[in-house]
């Protein structure tokens, strides 16, 4: 007969005999439980042990009158899971919310109960047992112990079980005299450290093994006997009769096995494999060298093309002193060729007329070049101003011998210099509108309010005048003169030592330190100048004329285009630096010296092919294992230089007559540079062990230092400078204090 109990959930199915509901929510009255006969005290506690769905266990104490729905509400506050999604079951039966714990307790002596806790949606709601004991890092095992005291009353105590790997010893302590509190010494030693390799990852056995001995107790079955008796029976069913085959000699056996032939076959295949591997490796190395050689050739060709292109641009748009020297050299060369042509074709009055026309053309060309110089000087004015602001805004740097550090110090004056630069850039900006320009003028007036000098009064007057004219609608093209005057006054105010808040103090100290050194007197301009104001070369014996006087007067020294010779010097230095040369001759010589070697010693053409294209000529080492010097070089073309540097023994390649010709040139070079060897020895001895002179040291890691700039960078032309500098002079000294001629 089917029972009439129904499930309390929405399925309303019958009991277990035909119910498919997984929740099994039966009414309290229908649970088959055997209740205790004694009467419970409603405030008496009961210890409940909960087992979660992920096999975690925790214990909690409740009064016996606590209902299941109240327990779910309490767990909702602890776990953060809604109470309707919590399921509490007893013996795989989901309990109803109206059921009390007293109806589930069976133990009269110790009131304990074991329930299961789960959720309806295990994916979204997870029971975290750690939230039950938030003050404990690891959840311990907790049990509730019920005991009776002396009077016979039952008491409950919750006991926490601690798992300790090491039993820490008692180290004693001390007791407070007044309070009686005992303080014990702590044991700082921890347990043994875990093994480096976990036991589950170890695969080894102990070295100690059991000693095993074999003893024969009876004779083997296959062993023959030497006796014949009727009492011993040996079956011969499985015996085999072996007869001897044909006799094979040692030579026949060796021939049949052919061990030597097989060894030869193995060696042949192995050697073939080794040969193929070696060929692949050599082929890859060959292809790599071919590729690198092609890349080097392409790079050299591109460099030569760029140099020609740069020279062409410099002829059209000259900027530096070298560019104008090249133009003047071209004019001088053209004039000489025209004079030679006139002398060969004309005479008398016609010759005078042609020379007059030539003079007119020369004057017109020189007038055009002078106009270009004026324009270049005007274009370089703002760059000179930028260079001034960069110098006052640059941090103070010095080299420390401690750990070979290059130290930079940022000062308040440097920061103030950057503020001046920002204000000046706003002032000279031609793209500002009317409102922005007024704001800039107001900033300048606010800056000069605290200054009481002639420049500040003049600036106030000029700015007021400019603001009045701008407010009346005067166009900006009519205010250019006034704006330029304001800019010049502001710049003069920034350069004035009494008004710029010591911004230029460090720069002036550097200039003063230069002036404190030995000064040299120029016999033409009648001025004392530092060594930087003179052009030095390896053949210089005394200082007579400064750079300014040499530029203005070209009677003694004609115009010379030094750009190709500067490129030749750069190639020589790069080659010496690449091969770690121990001599500093190539770095002491200047472009003027290279011009003297090429033109006066080697007569401007190759020693082999007599090619006179200056763009194709190079100064290579005569003996490739010795350092480069004027007495160990030869003037060749690019292709000839590559072939020459592959020669290890010169005597076996060149004829004796050619070698004598080269040796004569070397002797002539020693006569023209008599002091070069002593300069090389003194310079090498002086800079030995100096990190500033070693390009591979950490001193040159800072990319903003001027001594790291490219050697091919040209000096910009400045009309207003008292002394014109050449960036390849021996007297050029970088800010880091490196010896003259530093281009590393």
Q: How far apart are CA 88 and CA 71, in angstroms?
A: 9
10-residue mean pLDDT profile of the chain (744 residues): values are: 43 42 43 42 74 80 85 86 87 85 68 82 80 61 71 74 62 84 73 72 62 67 58 76 87 91 96 96 96 90 87 87 87 90 90 91 91 86 85 84 79 87 87 87 86 84 88 84 88 83 82 77 83 78 78 68 89 88 85 90 91 90 90 92 90 91 92 85 73 60 40 38 34 34 35
Q: How far apart are CA 695 and CA 404, in angstroms?
A: 13
Contact (CB, 8 A) for 604 and 614:
yes
- What integer pLDDT is reported at residue 164 of this predicted model? 54
Which strand (E) or helix (H) includes residue 620?
strand 617-621
Q: How far apart are CA 721 and CA 737, in angstroms?
A: 23
Q: How far apart are CA 136 and CA 144, in angstroms?
A: 18
Q: What are phi and psi of 592, to 5 degrees?
A: -65, -40
Tell me the CB-side half-sphere exposure of residue 66, using CA atoms within 13 A: 19
Contact (CB, 8 A) for 434 and 474:
no
Other Cβ atoms closer than 10 A to 421 = 18
Q: How far apart are CA 504 and CA 413, in angstroms?
A: 8
Q: How far apart are CA 592 and CA 223, in angstroms?
A: 108
Contact (CB, 8 A) for 427 and 486:
yes
Q: How far apart are CA 341 and CA 318, in angstroms?
A: 29
Dihedral of CA atoms 698, 704, 710, 716 in degrees, nearest 10, equals -150
- What integer pLDDT is reported at residue 705 of this predicted model? 38
Dihedral of CA atoms 369, 375, 376, 377 in degrees, nearest 10, equals 110
Fold held by 31-161:
Ubiquitin-like (UB roll) (3.10.20)
Q: What are phi and psi of 213, to 5 degrees?
A: -125, 140
- What integer pLDDT is reported at residue 723 of this predicted model? 32
Could you tell me the pTM of the whole model?
Answer: 0.53
Contact (CB, 8 A) for 724 and 718:
yes
Q: Let me know the angle formed at the C-alpha of 89 by 83 and 95, rounded to the nearest 5 degrees.
A: 70
Which strand (E) or helix (H) includes residue 400?
strand 396-400
Q: How far apart are CA 410 and CA 395, in angstroms?
A: 5
Token pair belonging to 387: 């260079």
Question: What are the residue ranges of helices labelled H in 97-220?
Answer: none
Q: How far apart are CA 25 and CA 22, in angstroms?
A: 9
Other Cβ atoms closer than 10 A to 619 = 23
Other Cβ atoms closer than 10 A to 608 = 15
Q: How far apart are CA 461 and CA 9, in angstroms?
A: 97
- What integer pLDDT is reported at residue 209 of this predicted model? 59
Token pair belonging to 426: 């706003």
- What integer pLDDT is reported at residue 16 of this predicted model? 43
3-class SS string, 327-390:
HHHHHHHHHHHHHHHHHHHCCCHHHHHHHHHHHHHHHHHHHHHHHHHHHHHHHCHHHHHHHHHH
3-class SS string, 82-107:
CHHHEEEEECCEECCCCCEHHHCCCC
Other Cβ atoms closer than 10 A to 434 = 11
The residues, any chain, with a CB within 8 Å of residue 590's CB and separated by 6 or more, are 536, 537, 538, 569, 728, 729, 730, 741
In the chain, what are the domain boundaries?
31-161, 386-516
3-state secondary structure of 438: helix
């Amino acid at each position: 007969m089917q029972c009439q109990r129904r499930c309390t959930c929405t399925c309303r199915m019958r009991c277990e005999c035909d119910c498919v509901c997984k929740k099994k929510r039966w009414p309290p009255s229908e649970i088959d439980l055997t209740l205790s006969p004694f009467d419970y005290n409603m405030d008496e506690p009961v210890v409940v042990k909960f087992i979660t769905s992920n096999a975690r266990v925790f214990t909690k104490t409740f009064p016996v009158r606590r209902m299941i729905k109240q327990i779910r509400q309490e767990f909702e506050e602890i776990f953060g899971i809604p109470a309707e999604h919590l399921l509490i079951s007893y013996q795989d039966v989901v309990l109803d919310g109206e059921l009390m714990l007293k109806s589930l307790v069976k133990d009269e002596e110790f009131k304990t109960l074991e329930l299961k806790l789960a959720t309806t949606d295990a994916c979204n709601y997870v029971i975290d047992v750690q939230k039950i004991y938030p003050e404990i890092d690891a959840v311990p095992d907790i049990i509730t112990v019920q005991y009776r005291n002396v009077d016979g009353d039952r008491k409950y105590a919750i006991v926490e079980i601690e798992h300790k790997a090491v039993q820490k010893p008692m180290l004693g302590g001390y007791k407070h005299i007044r309070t009686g509190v005992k303080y014990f010494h702590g044991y700082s030693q921890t347990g043994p450290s875990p093994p480096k390799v976990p036991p589950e990852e170890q695969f080894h056995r102990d070295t100690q093994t059991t000693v095993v001995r074999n003893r024969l107790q009876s004779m083997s079955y296959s062993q023959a006997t030497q006796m014949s008796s009727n009492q011993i029976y040996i079956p011969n069913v499985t015996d085999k009769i072996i007869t001897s085959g044909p006799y094979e000699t040692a030579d026949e056996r060796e021939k049949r096995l052919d061990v030597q032939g097989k060894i030869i076959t193995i060696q042949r295949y192995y050697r073939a494999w080794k040969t193929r591997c070696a060929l692949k490796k050599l082929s890859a190395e060959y292809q790599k060298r071919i590729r690198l050689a092609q890349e080097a050739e392409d790079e050299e060709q591109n460099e030569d093309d760029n140099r020609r292109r740069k020279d062409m641009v410099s002829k059209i748009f000259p900027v530096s002193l070298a560019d104008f020297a090249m133009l003047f050299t071209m004019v001088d060369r053209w004039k000489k060729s025209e004079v030679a042509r006139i002398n060969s074709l004309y005479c008398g009055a016609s010759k005078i007329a042609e020379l007059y026309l030539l003079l007119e053309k020369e004057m017109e060309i020189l007038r055009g070049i002078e106009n270009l110089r004026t324009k270049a000087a005007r274009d370089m004015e703002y760059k000179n101003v930028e260079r001034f602001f960069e110098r006052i805004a640059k941090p103070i740097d010095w080299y420390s011998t401690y750990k070979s550090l290059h130290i930079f110090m940022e000062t308040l004056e440097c920061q103030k210099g950057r503020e001046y630069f920002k204000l000046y850039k706003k002032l000279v900006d031609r793209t500002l509108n009317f409102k922005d320009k007024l704001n800039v003028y107001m900033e300048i007036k606010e800056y000069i309010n605290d200054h009481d000098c002639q420049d500040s009064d003049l600036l106030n007057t000029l700015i007021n005048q400019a603001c009045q004219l701008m407010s009346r609608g005067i166009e900006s093209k009519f205010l250019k003169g006034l704006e330029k005057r304001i800019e010049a006054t502001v710049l003069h105010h920034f350069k004035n030592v009494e008004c710029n808040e010591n911004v230029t103090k460090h720069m002036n100290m550097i200039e003063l330190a230069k002036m404190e050194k030995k000064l040299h007197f120029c016999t033409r301009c009648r001025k004392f100048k530092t060594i930087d104001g003179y052009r030095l070369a390896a053949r210089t014996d005394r200082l007579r004329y400064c750079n300014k006087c040499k530029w203005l007067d070209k009677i003694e020294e004609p115009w010379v285009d030094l750009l190709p010779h500067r490129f030749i010097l750069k190639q020589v230095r790069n080659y010496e630096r690449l091969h770690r040369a121990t001599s500093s001759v190539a770095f002491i010589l200047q472009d003027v010296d290279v011009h003297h070697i090429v033109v006066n010693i080697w007569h401007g053409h190759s020693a082999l092919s007599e090619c006179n294209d200056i763009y194709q000529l190079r100064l290579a080492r005569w003996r490739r294992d010795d350092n480069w010097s004027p007495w160990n070089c030869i003037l060749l073309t690019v292709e000839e230089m590559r072939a020459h540097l592959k020669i290890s023994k010169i005597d076996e390649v060149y004829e004796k007559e050619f070698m004598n010709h080269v040796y004569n040139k070397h002797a002539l070079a020693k006569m023209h540079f008599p002091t070069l060897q002593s300069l090389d020895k003194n310079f090498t001895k002086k800079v030995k062990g100096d990190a500033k002179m070693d390009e591979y040291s950490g001193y040159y890691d800072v990319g903003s230092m001027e001594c790291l700039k490219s050697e091919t960078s040209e000096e910009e032309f400045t009309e207003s400078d008292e002394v014109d500098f050449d960036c390849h002079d021996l007297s050029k000294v970088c800010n880091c204090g490196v010896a003259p001629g530093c281009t590393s």
